[in-house]
Amino acid sequence: MIKKAEHPPHRKPCETVQYKALFLSEFLRVCGCFGIRFLLFVLEVLTIAKLDHQLNEEIRDKEIRLIGADGAQLGIVSAAQANAMAEEQGMDLVKISPNAVPPVCKIMDYSKFCFDQKKREKEAKKNQRVVEIKEIRMSPSIDTNDFNTKVKAAQKFLNDGNRVKVSVRFRGREMAHTNLGEKLLMDFAASCSEIAGMEKNPKLEGRFMAMFLTPKNSK
């Protein structure tokens, strides 16, 4: 009697949630708290998103255009042939361009690919600068020294790449002289004109008149 050839088990590049939970409970039972830091690292790797790629045996196209792990063009082959080549190298077959005719697949270490991509995303997020809006408040009767001090503060904010909201608050009878507040704001903008531009002319809202300054050369 001829025995059927045993096929190697399918590769599973992404573990299921149930397996992760089982792994967690077993690991904690064996290692206790000693290996928690290592476990957190392992779980981070295992939970890397699979994105939208088809992998390995999921790829069942009759023909694909294959790219080697080194970027070499390996021509058009069957999905079965490509899977065998990837398995021989201990890597994964990843469909990277499903809409092409035929679809384009690449041999790669998919877990490493996902890990590196997540690392790059973290670095990009870390280096992404958040522009803040700083606020400077004045009264229509502000003296020259205080005015100059506030101008210097605004210039520092602008040099740091932040937007600055400059406002004047009117109290009681000062509401009858809002033109003084407008002139004050225009003078303030002129004092910062070398490094900032005024987004809009000063606008009165309730008892406040405000304008926004934007740095000309953000860092």
Which of 128, 147, 170 terminates a domain? The answer is 128
Give yes or no: residues 65 and 91 share one domain.
Answer: yes
Same domain, residue pair 124 and 137: no
Q: What is the pLDDT of residue 101?
A: 86
Q: How many domains is the chain partitioned into structurally?
A: 3
Report pLDDT for 48: 39
Per the structure, the complete domain to which residue 124 belongs is given by 49-128
Is residue 108 domain-shared with residue 174, that is, in the same domain? no
Question: What is the model's pLDDT at position 32?
Answer: 55
According to the model, what pLDDT value does residue 153 have? 93
Calculate the dihedral angle through the C-alpha atoms of 131, 137, 140, 142, rounding to the nearest 10 degrees.
Answer: -110
Are residue 36 and residue 65 in the same domain, yes or no?
Answer: no
Q: What is the pLDDT of residue 52?
A: 65
- In the prediction, which pLDDT does 91 show? 92
| Under 8 Å between Cβ of 169 and 137 | yes
6 is a domain residue: no
Look at residue 35 in the predicted model and tell me its pLDDT: 52
pLDDT along the chain (219 residues), means of 10: 48 48 58 51 43 80 90 90 92 88 90 86 73 87 92 91 91 88 92 89 89 80
* Same domain, residue pair 20 and 61: no
Same domain, 146 and 187: yes
> What distance in Å separates the CA atoms of residue 95 and residue 3, rounded to the nearest whole number?
34
What integer pLDDT is reported at residue 15 of this predicted model?
A: 44
Question: What b-and-e string marks burial along 55-82, b requiring 16 or more CB atoms within 10 Å of the CB?
Answer: bbeebeeeebbbbeeeeeebeebebeeb
Looking at the structure, tell me whether residues 38 and 72 fall in a common domain.
no
pLDDT at 40: 47
* CA–CA distance, 190 with 185 (Å, rounded to integer): 9
